[in-house]
Structure 1
Amino acid sequence: MSELIQLDALGPNGAYRASNRRTVTDVTGAPVAELSLVPQLFVQRGMAALRKAPAMPADERAAALERAGHAFATATIGGLSVEDYQHMVSRVSGIPISVVRAATTAIARSAAEVCRAAQNARPDGAVNDWRDPLTRQGHAIWTRRGDVLAVHAPGNEPEVHTLWLEALALGYKVAVRPSQREPFTPHRLISALREAGFGADQVVLLPTDHSVADEIVRAADLAMVYGGESVMKKYRNDVTVLPQGPGRSKILLSGDGGGDGDWRSHVNTIVDSVSDYGGMACVNTTAVFVEGDPTPVAEAIAERLSELPSLPPEDARAVLPVQPLDSAKTMEKYLLDHAGDATARLGGDGVVDDLGDGSAVMRPAVFQVERSDAPQTGIELGFPCVWVAPWSQADGVVPLKNTLVLTAITCDEALIDRLVNEPTISNVYIGDHPTYWMRPGIPHDSYLADFLMRSKAVIRD
């Protein structure tokens, strides 16, 4: 494409092309698009319009979401076919195109099922509407905590945009601030939602620079904000903000091997958990804890990961992420500087594979540490990088805390009880299940509706 793609803001009065535009580049540094960045006044007016807009009726929302998901995965939107869209996302983010294609399907499926899936979070003792006959005797109803949700979206993986669709399904108006790294997915999804029947005052795309970003959060009733440790610290005590930080997903390989006693039968699951999604997602495994000698496990993981090819992200065979060369070298330096006394099983000499065009493949890294409480096990990077540590029953649950997904390959029911009851472990997969397993209607980091909704009592004549 010789001309730069224009990614306009999508405000309450339609598309808006700002004078302040950020150039979006691909992994080689070549310009591919311009993203309009809106000023604070535009944000304020857009958020005010969302607040004034009535919610769509529930049946209309469900039908529109399903239409939007179908269009997102099949139609030409904003001048881009689905193939053009997938190519652009792969080129600007460095995500393997196979991952982008799978995410496209997942977004369409989620949009079709989200209204039904959202109901999984509703308490059994509550109804959806005060008009329900049960409220004549007094009953709980499930209702929103607010009307407007703000989303500061990430750019590491398109499938994260399935989450805020649940807010639309529940009647919220939604404002999305896209990542400047990968704005194509939210732009396409919001365009599809509008074409499917959602009003321009129901869902908006508000690209901004950092100086204006906080205004979107302040003007909303609730917000979902993605980022690293600084974001988690900033919003930790704000009950109106749901921070989404590093996943630090883990695998525990117990001495019983999940019943078969042989860790080798689980290597495929471990390797896939580390490398699926290009190793860029919060559900990718970043640490493996082994009861017994971790050395053969680390060596087996390293051997398998070393076989993955280095290819440009748009190649259908690509499985590893690609970054601009300078960014790749910065990430490599961070890894090697923080590896400390860990033993490198793969990647000790570096993880950057220069493709010769200004971009580089991030090769996998496997490091073995000596203690279950080694600080390196908390390091999460945007490529397949895993720390292998010893673990014993005496270590208990402590090294496994602060985890989005923990796959526990064990038959020890007492241990499983402790893991399931540990508040800082969001999801526990028991047995040979990869940490990236997800399904619509199953909690990701709790149900989003746990944050968006509440129950209140209603009795009427």
Structure 2
Amino acid sequence: MLTLDVLGPGGPYRSRRVETLQDFTGNPVATLSLAPSLYVTRTMKTLHRAPELPLDARIAALAEAGRAFATESIAGLTPEEYQYTVSATTGIPITAVRNATADIAQALARIQHSVQQARPAGAAVSWRDPLTRGGAAVWTRRGNVFAVHAAGNHPAVHQGWLDAVALGYRVAVRPSRREPFTPHRLITALRAAGVGDDRIVLLPTDHTAADDILRHADLGMVYGGDEVMRKYAGDPRILPQGPGRSKILITAETDWEPILGTLVESISSGGGVGCVNATGVLVEGDPAPLAAALAERLAALPSLPATDDRAVLPVAPIGLARRWDAHLRQRAAGTKAWLGGDTIVDDLGDGRAVLRPAVHQVDNPFAEQLGTELSFPCVWISSWDRAAGIRPLRNTLVLTAVTTDAELIDALVAEPTIANVYAGDHPTPWMAPGLPHEGYLAEFLMRTKTVLR
């Protein structure tokens, strides 16, 4: 089995408290050390004392870590072994894990460009800039230690905190106990590349010690559902990252048939488990023909083990899959099922099941189901009209608007609760280095101050 130690300021630390991680057939895969509360507190104090690594050294270390993460053996695992392990223990299709590996490496290679994109155009990077002789804005950190409670739904979420390292923060990551492999590999690579054991740490913990990580940090980022969003909504030190509820809007003057492939990709790419996967499609006019077409295309996706190179759908233990099925039935009460109405569970016969796609049509664009995001390709389809306006489209991470109405796009871009707007034939999971995901992380981590010398 693999041994995943705590990665503390003094090097790897093997705790007396360990948790055994299994794959979906029940085979033990790894032991994960859990850091006790006192160890967490001491580690966070060490991060506060650690000196800042110079900018050029940070950028070089990040780029080298990205290269190693994608191409070298790290902590005893080749890239292929790492990818297989993540797929086997999480049920994420292995092609999605491979793509995430490449995306993380690319993000690290372009990290300097990414963080500079977020810097205000009129702000200098340092007080030493000649502009400060006449007075200038200088971009500075709001703190020194950044804590992350990471999600385990997809390896790519770990791109989300890398900018903090580039900006000079000392970073503590509490990994998901569902998928600690990616942050363990990534932080091991960063430390080997020169970031320093006392500047970046991995702290697997229980819930009590997890709160200690946030309490002793200057700023933090927490992933979770609506409960997490409510818990931290009033805390200016914490940036909560909740459900995406990404959507697609198709207006009457456009034709959905040529972009059916884009719609399917938006719903199902990467296994449909990401916050950028579309969970709602709103159509100006009758949604039934589109619902039928989507159901037909999604029904054709194969049921395969997650580690199969042809797999495109997520896999879960049979018991968990049946609980998801029951939850979907409860949420879908009163809707019309175009796909998945009988079951979404496709038993593989070895204790695992493929989570099949689901397509349901709701009565109106204000139906509560449009806010439901599940851990498999599940889409809710509704009619939409101009009288409904943009209200049903609020609280959306990515909105693809298939429309020629420039005034409507104006309103969507101006709406504060819509994080990203893609106008035209663009899948909702599209992302690129240097562009904001849910705003730039640097908007939360940095501030400008005037310096005159």
Q: Determine the C-alpha separation between the residues in 2 that align with 1:12 and 1:300.
A: 54
Whether 1:111 and 2:111 are equivalent positions in the alignment is no
Deviation for aligned residue 1:338: 1.1
Deviation for aligned residue 1:29: 2.3
Q: Determine the C-alpha separation between the residues in 2 that align with 1:48 and 1:116.
A: 31
Q: Determine the C-alpha separation between the residues in 2 that align with 1:329 and 1:214.
A: 32
Deviations 1:306-342 (A, max 9, x none): 0000000000000000011111111111000110110
2:11 to 14, 25, 28: 14
Show the 5 A alignment for 1:189-200: 189-200=186-197
CA RMSD for the aligned pairs? 0.6
Q: With structure 1 as the length reference, what TM-score do the two structures score?
A: 0.98
Structure 2 counterpart SS, 1:140? strand
Q: AA paired with 2:350?
A: D
Q: Determine the C-alpha separation between the residues in 2 that align with 1:255 and 1:130.
A: 54
- In structure 2, what is the equivalent of residue 248 of structure 1? 245
Q: Determine the C-alpha separation between the residues in 2 that align with 1:210 and 1:287.
A: 33
Deviation for aligned residue 1:55: 1.0
Q: AA paired with 1:341?
A: G
Aligned length: 453
- In structure 1, what is the equivalent of residue 200 of structure 2? 203
- In structure 1, what is the equivalent of residue 94 of structure 2? 97
Is 1:256–1:410's contact at 8 Å kept on the other side of the alignment? Answer: yes
Q: With structure 2 as the length reference, what TM-score do the two structures score?
A: 0.99
Q: Determine the C-alpha separation between the residues in 1 that align with 2:184 and 2:161.
A: 14
Runs of 4+ in 1 over 6 A off after TM superposition: none
Gaps spanning 5+ residues in structure 1: where?
A: none
Show the 5 A alignment for 1:328-407: 328-407=321-400
Q: AA paired with 2:401?
A: A
Structure 2 counterpart SS, 1:54? coil
Whether 1:33 and 2:26 are equivalent positions in the alignment is no
Is 1:115–1:170's contact at 8 Å kept on the other side of the alignment? Answer: no
Whether 1:80 and 2:77 are equivalent positions in the alignment is yes
Structure 2 counterpart SS, 1:387? strand
Whether 1:134 and 2:131 are equivalent positions in the alignment is yes
Structure 2 counterpart SS, 1:277? helix
Whether 1:445 and 2:438 are equivalent positions in the alignment is yes
- In structure 2, what is the equivalent of residue 436 of structure 1? 429
Q: Determine the C-alpha separation between the residues in 2 that align with 1:359 and 1:9.
A: 30
Deviations 1:402-439 (A, max 9, x none): 00000000010111111000000000000000000000
Q: Determine the C-alpha separation between the residues in 2 that align with 1:27 and 1:378.
A: 29
Q: Determine the C-alpha separation between the residues in 2 that align with 1:302 and 1:213.
A: 42
Q: Determine the C-alpha separation between the residues in 1 that align with 2:177 and 2:256.
A: 42
Q: Alignment identity in percent? A: 60
Q: AA paired with 1:383?
A: F
- In structure 1, what is the equivalent of residue 210 of structure 2? 213
- In structure 1, what is the equivalent of residue 178 of structure 2? 181
Q: AA paired with 2:55?
A: A
Deviations 1:264-305 (A, max 9, x none): 011111110000010000000000000000000000000000
2:43 to 41, 46, 60: 46
Deviation for aligned residue 1:212: 1.3
Deviations 1:124-175 (A, max 9, x none): 1100000001001000000000001000001111011112110000000100
1:69 to 49, 61, 66: 66
Q: Determine the C-alpha separation between the residues in 2 that align with 1:359 and 1:15.
A: 33
1:292 to 285, 297, 312: 285
Q: Determine the C-alpha separation between the residues in 1 that align with 2:89 and 2:277.
A: 21
Q: AA paired with 1:312?
A: P
Q: Determine the C-alpha separation between the residues in 2 that align with 1:205 and 1:242.
A: 19
Structure 1 counterpart SS, 2:110? helix
Structure 1 counterpart SS, 2:31? strand
